[in-house]
Amino acid sequence: MTTNLVLALTIGGLFASGVYLMLSRNLIRVILGFLLAGHGINLLLLSTGTYGAPPIVGENTDGEQLSDPMPQAFILTSIVISLAVSTFLLAMAYRNYTVTKEPELEDDPENDEFADADAGAGEE
């Protein structure tokens, strides 16, 4: 397996910007960040096998180099999972918007308004 500098930098860049976006309180940014980081990891998965060669066709391969199908199967699964999770995240962002009229999450002042720790917080 040869390492590809451009690919490595792309993966690193995607992952870094994805994580940066996910740290935001804006749910839309979280979704974008998750998708970017997910793409970074899909590329990482792809780069672990042999790629850039013909896929497996039939059984007679004539000894030529073939692409590794396993990472592609992993990526396919990972894409499906990303789809499900981003659907959920979009629904959540929309719900948050309808409830609060803000794309960002609510403030959480010392958890004061929480079911459990509400008025009793800090009272001893």
Partner 1 sequence: MTWLLPMAIILPITGAALTLVASRRPRVQRAISVTIISIQLAVEVTMLVSVERTGPIVMHVGGWTAPLGVTLVADELAAFMLVVSTIVALAVLIYGISQGIADREVGPEVPISIFHPTFLILVTGISNAFVAGDLFNLFVSFEILLTASYVLLTSGGTKERLRAGAPYIVVSLLSSLIFLAAIAMIYGATGTVNMADLSVKLAALPAGIVAVLQAMLLVAFGVKAAVFPMSQWLPDSYPSAPAPVTAVFAGLLTKVGIYAIIRVQTLLFPTGSYGTLLMIAALLTMVVGILGAVSQSGIKRMLSFTLVSHIGYMLFGIALGSETGLGAAIYYVAHHILVQTALFLAVGLIERVAGTTVLARLGGLAAAAPILAILFFIPAMNLAGVPPLSGFLGKVGLFEAGIQDGRVLALILVIGGALTSLLTLYAIIRVWGRAFWRPAPEVTGRIEGDSLGTESGRSLAVRIRAQREAQKRVTHEKAAHLPIGMVGATTAVVAITLMMTIAAGPIYGLAERAAATLSDRSVYVDAVLDSGVPAPPGATQPAGGGG
Residues that bind partner 1 (CB under 8 A): 1, 15, 18-19, 22, 27, 30, 34, 37-38, 41, 44-45, 47-49, 58-59, 70-71, 73-74, 77-78, 81, 84-85, 88-89, 92, 95-96, 99-100, 105-106, 108, 111, 113-124
| Residue placing its CB nearer to partner 1 in the complex, 6 or 84 | 84
- Do the Cβ atoms of 30 and 20 come closer than 8 Å? no
Residues 6+ apart with CB under 8 A from 92: 27
Minimum distance from CB of 77 to partner 1 (Å)?
6
Tokens of 89: 């995240």
3-class DSSP assignment, residue 26: strand
| Residue placing its CB nearer to partner 1 in the complex, 6 or 12 | 12
Minimum distance from CB of 54 to partner 1 (Å)?
16
- Distance between CA atoms of residues 12 and 44, nearest Å: 9
| Residue placing its CB nearer to partner 1 in the complex, 6 or 88 | 88
Minimum distance from CB of 74 to partner 1 (Å)?
6
| Residue placing its CB nearer to partner 1 in the complex, 62 or 123 | 123
Minimum distance from CB of 52 to partner 1 (Å)?
15
Residue with tokens 């007679």: 60
Task: With both helix axes pointing from N to C terminus, report the angle between 5-22 and 27-48 in degrees, rounded to the nearest 10.
Answer: 160
Helix (H) or strand (E) holding 108: none
